[in-house]
Amino acid sequence: MKFQIAIDGPVASGKTAVGRGVSKALKWNFLDTGIMYRAATRSILDSGISFEENSSIIETVKKTTLDIDNSPGFEKILINGKDKTSTLKTPEIDRAVSIISKIPEVRKELVRQQRGIASQGPIVMVGRDIGSVVLPEAELRIYLEANVEIRAQRRYQEQIASKGKLSLNDVKVDLEKRDLIDTQRQDSPLSKYDFYTIIDTTTMNLEDVVDEITSIYRSQI
């Protein structure tokens, strides 16, 4: 049978690490949809297209081939056949990804690809509109949240080794801007709908969140 767990929430709420942990515990496939939007953004930046040129952005995304390898120890994303994994979590991408992802045609194209991946077998998929748009029939739909100070600290730690790293305060400001864009966009806004099981990860460690989600799922089957 095809089983699906959707995990949504704002940036740096722990979705990717939690989703990967849940998929490992259940021995299911895993997809971080956020990395697809980051890859699409990298493709746009590398093409030198202005953020004002929506038609060119849409055309480029439709022509961009995104291949994801979530094999243990690899977890690479290939953009048009080239490994761009190390370039996707930089301040440059952080600032641009919400601009690209709010374009309805871009979201439509990537959602099409995401549903295709989900059709291949049991999956844990994480993002911002998985439970509401991409996989509305998922057996379990989770919303992870955490206060912005904790989320900023998590993201700051992620980008410490990157070039052009931001200060902790700058990271927090960027997160607040992204939250505003994500929650106010017209197409598939980030929102805590009634069908979600909400988990606040502010004071929880990774193992506790993974255990809670897997326990909830197993109690329902």
Q: Does residue 73 surpass a pLDDT of 60?
A: no
Residue 187 CB: number of other CB atoms within 10 A?
Answer: 14
User: Which string of b and e fits 18-47 if b means at least 16 CB within 10 Å?
Assistant: bbbbbbeebebbbbbbbbbbbbbbbbbbee
In terms of residue numbers, what domain contains 126? 4-34+90-212
163 is a domain residue: yes
68 is a domain residue: no
Average pLDDT (43-54) is 93
63 is a domain residue: no
Strand residues in the chain grouped as ranges (E): 4-8, 29-32, 66-69, 76-79, 82-83, 123-127, 140-145, 197-200
208 is a domain residue: yes
Number of domains in the chain: 1
CATH number of the domain at 182, please.
3.40.50.300
pLDDT attached to residue 185 = 83
Q: Does residue 94 surpass a pLDDT of 90?
A: no
Q: How far apart are CA 88 and CA 73, in angstroms?
A: 17
CB neighbour list of residue 203: distance below 8 Å, 6 or more residues apart:
none
Band (75; pLDDT cuts 50, 70, 90): low
Average pLDDT (1-23) is 91
50 is a domain residue: no
Q: Strands 66-69 and 76-79, how do they pair?
A: antiparallel
Q: Strands 82-83 and 123-127, how do they pair?
A: unpaired
Question: What does the pLDDT look like over 137-196, one tens digit per residue?
Answer: 999 999 999 999 999 998 888 777 665 678 899 999 999 998 998 898 888 888 999 999
The overall average pLDDT reported for the chain is 90
55 is a domain residue: no
pLDDT attached to residue 213 = 97
144 is a domain residue: yes
In DSSP notation, 138-164 reads -SEEEEEE--HHHHHHHHHHHTTTSTT
72 is a domain residue: no
pLDDT attached to residue 50 = 93
